[in-house]
């Protein structure tokens, strides 16, 4: 299934870190319409959460390099060298679309430990939302 032009707009706004309410305002639609678009996008990109959706959108070309440049998430080259070994593990799991609780189980650590590593990554890369984390992780791991 192809992602429609409107769904691509929704993906771009999700990647921008917008909530459903903000997306609805920007696109002049209801929140229910945005939720329905998200459901369709999740299904079309075979994703179960925002991280997996963003990673799949990048992999399948729904989000292009030009889109990512417009988002200004990636301001300079990213390398895993900047991240600690455990942060690198977290970034790899983000790309796989795992939720923090699943990451904790996978790594054999507490949920709070994973949240702290994610917080450190947010600070290190100067990001402030899950979509940006996924974009950073996708390019750091690539």
Does residue 50 sit in the same domain as residue 87?
no
Q: Which helix (H) or strand (E) holds 21?
A: helix 20-27
Does residue 97 sit in the same domain as residue 117?
yes
Does residue 97 sit in the same domain as residue 122?
yes
Structure tokens at 129: 């939302």
The percentage of the chain sitting over the pLDDT mark of 90, rounded to a whole number, equals 55
Q: CATH number, domain at 39?
A: 1.10.10.10
Please tell me the distance from the alpha carbon of residue 36 to that of residue 109, in angstroms, as a whole number. 35
Does residue 14 sit in the same domain as residue 67?
yes
In degrees, rounded to 5, the angle at the alpha carbon of residue 45 between the alpha carbons of residues 42 and 48 is 40
Does residue 58 sit in the same domain as residue 87?
no
| Number of domains the chain is built from | 2
- Whole-structure pTM value: 0.77
Does residue 48 sit in the same domain as residue 22?
yes
Report the pLDDT averaged over residues 77-85. 70
Does residue 122 sit in the same domain as residue 95?
yes
Does residue 85 sit in the same domain as residue 129?
yes
pLDDT number for residue 142: 57
pLDDT digits (tens, 9 = 90+) for 40-65: 999 999 998 888 899 899 889 998 87
Domain boundary among 44, 71, 98: 71
Does residue 130 sit in the same domain as residue 95?
yes
Structure tokens at 105: 């189980």
Report the pLDDT averaged over residues 71-91. 75
Does residue 48 sit in the same domain as residue 88?
no
pLDDT number for residue 78: 59
pLDDT number for residue 65: 76
Supply the range of the domain harboring residue 40: 5-71
pLDDT digits (tens, 9 = 90+) for 92-140: 999 888 999 999 999 999 999 999 999 999 988 888 888 888 888 887 7
Does residue 38 sit in the same domain as residue 55?
yes
Q: Which helix (H) or strand (E) holds 62?
A: none
Does residue 111 sit in the same domain as residue 67?
no
Q: 71 pLDDT band (50/70/90 cuts)?
A: confident
Give the burial string for 77-88 (b: 16+ CB within 10 Å, else e): ebeeeebeeebb
Domain boundary among 26, 49, 71: 71
Please tell me the distance from the alpha carbon of residue 127 to that of residue 119, in angstroms, as a whole number. 10
């Amino acid at each position: 299934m192809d992602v429609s032009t409107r769904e691509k707009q929704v993906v771009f706004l999700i990647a921008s870190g917008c909530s459903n309410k903000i997306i609805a305002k920007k696109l002049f639609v209801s929140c229910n319409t945005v939720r329905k678009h998200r459901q369709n996008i999740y299904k079309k990109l075979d994703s179960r959460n925002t991280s997996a959706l963003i990673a799949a959108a990048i992999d399948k070309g729904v989000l292009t390099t030009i889109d990512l440049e417009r988002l200004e998430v990636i301001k300079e080259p990213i390398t895993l060298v900047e991240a600690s070994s455990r942060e690198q593990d977290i970034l790899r799991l983000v790309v796989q679309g795992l939720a923090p609780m699943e990451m904790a189980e996978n790594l054999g650590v507490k949920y709070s430990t994973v949240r702290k590593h994610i917080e450190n990554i947010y600070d290190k890369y100067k990001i402030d939302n899950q979509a940006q984390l996924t974009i950073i992780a996708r390019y750091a791991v690539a």
